[in-house]
């Protein structure tokens, strides 16, 4: 008999695609209020299932649900402590990217992914208390998938200026060695995000991920939009229409040393504010790293 799931259901407000939305409409994180008013977006009371760490790690798997919750090893946790102390220090971010490569390499082999290179890309630091770190990214309180899975080459080329150098570094190549054609032709086996809180206690603002298996019709419940970031950057992402059968999950006692890894191209996620049982402060600091699993042929390096 399956042990009873130790979950707690809570409700929170989440932002979704609205009735006026049309595919590839602009969605700006800086203009959410106006977009809600014009119907491009809408707010819905959303149920989120909370599990403690032991339960959430046991019950959900990446292959079945599109995400997994982890307890990080001492090496990564120590680097996170250093980053939490000085989040603006570039060297700390580089150390974090390097520290997660062995962890993700082992995990990728366990999943039988066909890859020979793990490449950490963006390292995004977020702080919901903008007065403390005004240059940090804020939370994205909108149900979305970072990029569409179709035509990922377009996404690769869009982020060429920042991603290409990381792939060259992983291949021990000098910057600008790969041609655009070689870069665009790299075989991407999997793209994941690993999201890690930097606070020593659980916070009310956290991350919720959707159980991918609860999506009924992916091409109808998720639609492409043009993401507009504060930097003026535009790229294609996927927004989510509200459905009451979608299953949203979050770890109730998540803190520094914990992590959730999710499928960048398939798993909806959103920042949420919920009254978690162990939460002792409202705002949170977190860091997330996007990672490519590549199957690189020798021809790429010629």
**What confidence tens digit (pLDDT) does each residue in 205-237 have?**
999 999 999 999 999 999 999 999 777 789 999
Residue 298 backbone dihedrals phi, psi, to 5 degrees: -55, -25
pLDDT band at 297 (very low <50, low <70, confident <90, very high): confident
The single-letter DSSP state of residue 301 is G
Measured CA to CA, the distance from residue 179 to residue 301 in angstroms comes to 10
Q: What is the pLDDT of residue 135?
A: 65
Q: Per DSSP, what are the bridge partners of residue 51?
A: 7, 251
Pure H helices in the chain: 32-37, 53-59, 62-65, 74-85, 90-110, 152-158, 160-170, 180-184, 218-221
**What is the pLDDT at residue 132?**
65
- What percentage of residues in the chain have a pLDDT greater than 90? 82
Q: Give the pLDDT confidence score for residue 299 in this predicted structure.
A: 59
Domains in the chain, ordered, with CATH?
Answer: 7-301 (2.60.120)
Q: What is the pTM of this model?
A: 0.93
Backbone angles phi, psi at 75, to 5 degrees: -65, -50
223 φ, ψ (degrees, to nearest 5):
-135, 145
Which of 120-124, 147-151, 190-194, 273-277 has the largest mean confidence? 190-194
């Amino acid at each position: 008999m399956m042990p009873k799931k130790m979950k707690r259901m809570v409700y929170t407000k989440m932002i979704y695609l609205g009735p006026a939305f049309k595919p590839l409409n602009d969605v700006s994180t800086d203009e959410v209020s106006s977009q809600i008013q014009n119907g491009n977006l809408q707010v819905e009371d959303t149920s989120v299932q909370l599990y403690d760490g032991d339960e959430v790690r046991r019950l959900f798997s990446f292959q079945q649900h599109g995400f997994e919750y982890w307890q990080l090893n001492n090496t990564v946790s120590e680097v996170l402590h250093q980053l939490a102390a000085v989040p603006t220090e570039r060297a700390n971010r580089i150390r974090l990217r390097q520290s997660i490569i062995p962890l993700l390499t082992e995990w990728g082999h366990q999943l039988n992914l066909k890859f020979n290179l793990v490449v950490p890309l963006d390292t995004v630091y977020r702080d919901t208390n903008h007065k403390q770190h005004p240059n940090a990214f804020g939370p994205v309180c909108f149900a979305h998938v970072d990029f569409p899975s179709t035509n990922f080459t377009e996404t690769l080329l869009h982020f060429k200026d920042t991603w290409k150098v990381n792939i060259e570094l992983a291949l021990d190549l000098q910057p600008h060695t790969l041609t655009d054609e070689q870069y665009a032709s790299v075989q991407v086996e999997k793209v994941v995000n690993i999201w890690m809180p930097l606070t020593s206690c659980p916070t009310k603002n956290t991350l919720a991920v959707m159980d991918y298996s609860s999506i009924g019709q992916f091409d109808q419940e998720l639609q492409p939009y043009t993401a507009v970031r504060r930097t003026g950057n535009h790229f294609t992402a996927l927004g989510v229409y509200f459905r009451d059968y979608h299953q949203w999950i979050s770890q109730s006692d998540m803190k520094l040393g914990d992590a959730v890894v999710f499928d960048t191209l398939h798993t909806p996620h959103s920042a949420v504010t919920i009254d978690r049982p162990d939460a002792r402060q409202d705002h949170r600091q977190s860091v997330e790293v996007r990672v490519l699993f590549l199957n690189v042929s020798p021809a790429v390096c010629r």
